[in-house]
Structure 1
Amino acid sequence: MKSELKILGGSSNEELLERICAYVNVSPTSVELSRFSDGEINFRIGETVRGHDVFVIQSTSTPVNDNFMELLIMIDALKRASANSIAVVMPYYGYARQDRKAKGRDPITAKLVANLLTVAGATRVLTVDLHAEQIQGFFDIPVDNLQAFPVFFKALKKYETFDKEKTVIVAPDVGAVKRARKIAEKFGVPMAILDKRRPKDNVAEALHVIGEVDGMTAIMFDDIIDTARTLVAGANLLKKHGAKKIISCATHGIFSGEALKILDDSPIDHVYVTDTIYHESLPEKISVVSIAPLLGEAIMRIRKNLSVSILFR
């Protein structure tokens, strides 16, 4: 029997699953996902996967633990149903910010997540813009960390008008420099860096701007918008230093707490995020660009044993 491509998903992002399947031109594999009266997850695969290559689409976004448990149960079901390979597509990798011991007695939860996925039966992992690239080394199976910058590049070219002489790409902190440099090179514009300190979790203070932003359109690039306080602190600093227009691009829009209100009241003119995390509705200031073509292309390349890294050259 020839190995077929099967794509299925959990409840975290059903719209993204549909978009990926449409791009790859396959129908989503039939599954039943429900809960018992005590809250336990019940999962059944509605068709054979024996000997087939399966891709499971599931972001571990809010509710993080429910979505992650769903994912582990799906992997286990596929392994017991004799799938040939089980590639886990986690557009958003939850717990990625707990990648090291920042202080004594801290857990390294990103490593625990890697262990659980591997033990459950995953044979490969695809994710997008990992918060810390070294998380790839937490796995003993192949990990493809896709980069969202080509998606933002196309969106900005389509929806925004730029004068190269008056545009600057801004890294909101030192950790985002590598990501910002790639997009700056792609646009052929200069780069600036925000110097900030983080006195405690989810709190950041922007202190200095390294680079020229006066009279410029400043495009901030980051991987995550969570509470939005860090982003807005950076935007306020850019405005103080004379930035004429501020655009923000972030791969994962978590938007926890009052993030949407904070963004709406901020000096940021427009925010672009991808659909790695599903939101039913967002303010007019926020646009969602789909990551589905990038994930779909990566899935087809993996299936055909072709290079994935060529997508970012």
Structure 2
Amino acid sequence: MNQQALFYSCRASYREASRIAKELGVPLQKRHFGFFGDGEMKLRMVPHMGKFDFLKGATVVLFTSTRGDAQENWMETFATLQGLALYGVKEIVPVFTFLGYRRQDKEGKEGEIPLLGMIPRIMSVWPIQDVIFGELHNLDATRAAFNQHGMAIHEVRADRAFEMICHSLLERKDIIVASPDSGRLKVVQDAASRFSREAIGSKKIRPGDDQAEVTLEDVDLTGKHILVRDDEVNTFTTMGKNVTAYRKRGAIGVTGFSVHGVLSGDAVDLIDDAPIDRLYVSTTVTFPYEKGDRSTDVTPEETNLGIESKSGKIYFYSLTRDFVAMIRQVLSNKQPL
């Protein structure tokens, strides 16, 4: 039996997984995933010194993500889980650096089915007791879905990074911490209370896919700087409309902080053109147009990865140390690193 945890990564999370593995001081094991010409999947595990018995009885940490082609990434994740199980691993701890099923955690319009519950139902066939996630859109719904199938979930939150990066702003007397929708208001209120700052929220409705209309609370923002905190920036529609609304209410500046920077479609151009001073996003979602890998812990001035932004408003920070701490905590009662 292998006495140490083994680490693997799917393609969508490989860049972030490499950072985390380097901090942990462990290698990422090799496996090959691809497709045949007809689209059928193929997966090959790579033996250690010509043998596969190093997997038998091991605890395995598998990094994955739903960024990019979510359906393809799910199939790769499921195929890898199946491959590890077939070789007799004792337990698998999946680590989702990003889970993009934020709209699947509740019922929508009549006839729409919330699909989040499908994921733990499928995953319950494999030896999984614990699942680690980067900050979630709906912690309670996700926990309930996984708990129903005997899995505990552990959330890696960005609170530490938020307070370190935005500390100087939070110390200002003119700062107001804002949530771009009602779903994040509790998180924002907690952050604001630690610095004795006011918190405000917005109401959001979605007239269509990737569309949003927002209504601010009735509050005077004249002379205030708004620090808006969200879990994800996708099309920049919700945050962008909030930013414009803050300015119309008299705000003298707006800084955005988000965990997962999906930045799909025209999001980067919208950010460039928006009346926002800076937007901080973590490296949990890897960008195809990164020009380098200079991310550090949470020093924003040193972490701009060269995203194609004319204005230079987008800055990156890392949650590597937070993922490392959570992985160590979860593994502490299993097999040692």
Decide: shared fold, TM above 0.5: yes
Alignment match of 1:136 (pick from 133, 138, 143) = 143
Deviation beyond 4 Å, 4+ runs, structure 1: 160-163
- The residue aligned with 2:158 is 148
- For the 8 Å contact 1:246–1:268, the answer to whether it is kept is yes
- For the 8 Å contact 1:32–1:44, the answer to whether it is kept is yes
Which sections of structure 2, spanning at least 5 residues, go unmatched? 49-53, 291-306
- The residue aligned with 2:14 is 14
RMSD: 1.9
Shift of 1:123: 3.1
- For the 8 Å contact 1:33–1:42, the answer to whether it is kept is yes
- For the 8 Å contact 1:232–1:266, the answer to whether it is kept is yes
For the residue of structure 2 that corresponds to 1:97, the secondary structure is helix
- For the 8 Å contact 1:192–1:212, the answer to whether it is kept is no
- The residue aligned with 1:202 is 210
Shift of 1:256: 1.6
- The residue aligned with 1:309 is none
Instruction: Check if 1:92 corresponds to 2:98.
Output: yes
Instruction: Check if 1:288 corresponds to 2:316.
Output: yes
Instruction: Check if 1:185 corresponds to 2:193.
Output: yes
- For the 8 Å contact 1:220–1:249, the answer to whether it is kept is yes
233-242 or 285-294: which moved more?
285-294
- For the 8 Å contact 1:192–1:210, the answer to whether it is kept is no
Once the two structures are superposed, residues 210-266 of structure 1 have per-residue CA deviations (whole angstroms, 9 ceiling, x without a partner) of: 445321221111111111111110000000111111111111111121111111110
- For the 8 Å contact 1:152–1:289, the answer to whether it is kept is no
Instruction: Check if 1:113 corresponds to 2:141.
Output: no
- Tell me, in whole angstroms, the C-alpha distance in 2 between the residues paired with 1:266 and 1:229: 11
- Tell me, in whole angstroms, the C-alpha distance in 1 between the residues paired with 2:41 and 2:130: 23
Superposition pairs of residues 30-41 of structure 1, within 5 angstroms: 30-41=30-41
Shift of 1:169: 0.5
Alignment match of 1:168 (pick from 176, 181, 186) = 176
- The residue aligned with 1:297 is 325
Which sections of structure 1, spanning at least 5 residues, go unmatched? 307-313
- The percent identity for this pair of structures is 23
Distance 1:22 1:185, change over 3 A: farther
Shift of 1:194: 2.1
252-261 or 94-103: which moved more?
94-103
- Tell me, in whole angstroms, the C-alpha distance in 1 between the residues paired with 2:265 and 2:170: 33
Instruction: State the one-letter code of the partner of 1:30.
Output: K
Instruction: State the one-letter code of the partner of 1:22.
Output: K
Instruction: State the one-letter code of the partner of 1:20.
Output: I
TM-score normalised per structure 1: 0.91
Instruction: State the one-letter code of the partner of 2:166.
Output: L
Instruction: State the one-letter code of the partner of 2:34.
Output: S
